Amino acid sequence: MAVELKDLLCDIHTHTIASGHAYGTIRENVQAGAERGLKLVGTSEHGPNIPGSCHPIYYSCANRIPREMFGVEVITGVEANLNDDGTIDIPDMLLGFLDYAIVGIHGFGYKNHGEEENTDLVIKAMGIDKVHFVAHPDTDKYPLNYERLVKAAIENRCALEMNTSSLRKPQERPGCYDNYRRMLAECVKQGCYIIVNTDAHDPSEVGRFEKAVELLNEVDFPKELILNCDLDKLKELIDYKFDRIMGF
Ligand SMILES: [Zn+2]
Ligand SMILES: [Zn+2]
């Protein structure tokens, strides 16, 4: 059965002004999500390696963010940067304040190590507690071995992201369409969850999944492997707990 926009109930990769180069507040993002029919929004500021992103103390106070706004559930995470040694730019102590971490390769603190070593380093980061998602694993700039990545995602209770910002700007993510086709085929073969996220840097982008829906239907991807379609499965994957640790 075809995937429809209304089947995708959450967007857990979104940025606010706290990331330094995004332009809405949490409330504006969540409200935009509510208007597009989302039931859950996750906020995931960049890790501190990205110039202008928040100070580490920001993450430690995430428990101040309401669990519900505009009738939409809110979860709080981070898009951590993968370092050249497979660590991330958020220490375990800070991860403890958050519901989840997405690990992503960016041009800060990371250079391309080639397909196999990039894959090894992402896999190493998947082993970190709270890391349950891999952001935009889609560009020829940082190639990945999808057979090994998917196997490791299953073993480490991670879901691989389909990032609609990449799909909307493929010139900035060379090869992303073909790479997603390969990744999705491997996810079907091995039974790995994906998560569709917009990576919104402005409220106008939250929940805009059109490009992802087109691609998912092109390859006949099964709904059962899309975490956005089942919020209980999403919460189970991240070991969600309503009460969060108090920060400052
Ligand atoms: Zn990113
Ligand atoms: Zn992002």
- Could you say which ligand is closest to the alpha carbon of residue 13? 2
Tell me how far the alpha carbon of residue 79 lies from the centroid of ligand 1, in angstroms. 7
Q: Is residue 244 part of a domain?
A: no
> Domain of 184?
7-237
Q: Is residue 242 part of a domain?
A: no
Looking at residue 1, what is its pLDDT?
82
Q: What is the pLDDT of residues 60-115, one digit of tens each?
A: 999 999 999 999 999 999 999 999 999 999 999 999 999 999 999 998 989 999 99
**Domain total for the chain?**
1
Q: Is residue 197 part of a domain?
A: yes
Whether residue 235 has pLDDT greater than 90: yes
Q: Is residue 158 part of a domain?
A: yes
Tell me how far the alpha carbon of residue 46 lies from the centroid of ligand 2, in angstroms. 7
Four-CA torsion 140, 109, 150, 132, nearest 10 degrees: -140
Q: Is residue 214 part of a domain?
A: yes
Average pLDDT over residues 123-133: 98
- Could you say which ligand is closest to the alpha carbon of residue 106? 1
- Could you say which ligand is closest to the alpha carbon of residue 15? 2
Q: Please check whether residue 105 is in contact with residue 80, taking contact to mean a CB–CB distance below 8 angstroms.
A: no
**Alpha-carbon span 105 to 133, nearest angstrom:** 12
Q: Is residue 206 part of a domain?
A: yes
Q: Is residue 247 part of a domain?
A: no
Q: Is residue 195 part of a domain?
A: yes
Q: Please check whether residue 99 is in contact with residue 238, taking contact to mean a CB–CB distance below 8 angstroms.
A: yes
Tell me how far the alpha carbon of residue 165 lies from the centroid of ligand 1, in angstroms. 9
The DSSP line for 107-171 is SSS-----HHHHHHHHHHHHTSTTEEEE-----TTS---HHHHHHHHHHTT-EEEEEHHHHH-TT
Average pLDDT over residues 229-246: 95
Looking at residue 111, what is its pLDDT?
95
Residue 114, Cβ neighbours under 10 Å: how many? Answer: 10
Whether residue 248 has pLDDT greater than 80: no
Looking at residue 73, what is its pLDDT?
98
Whether residue 246 has pLDDT greater than 90: no
Tokens 């100070």 -> residue: 55
Tell me how far the alpha carbon of residue 194 lies from the centroid of ligand 2, in angstroms. 16
**Alpha-carbon span 6 to 27, nearest angstrom:** 21
Q: What angle (nearest 5°) sits at the alpha carbon of residue 119, between those of residues 53 and 79? A: 20
**Alpha-carbon span 91 to 138, nearest angstrom:** 26
Tell me how far the alpha carbon of residue 104 lies from the centroid of ligand 1, in angstroms. 6
Tell me how far the alpha carbon of residue 24 lies from the centroid of ligand 1, in angstroms. 17
Tell me how far the alpha carbon of residue 29 lies from the centroid of ligand 2, in angstroms. 14
- CATH code, 130: 3.20.20.140
Tell me how far the alpha carbon of residue 1 lies from the centroid of ligand 1, in angstroms. 30
- Could you say which ligand is closest to the alpha carbon of residue 82? 1
Average pLDDT over residues 41-47: 98
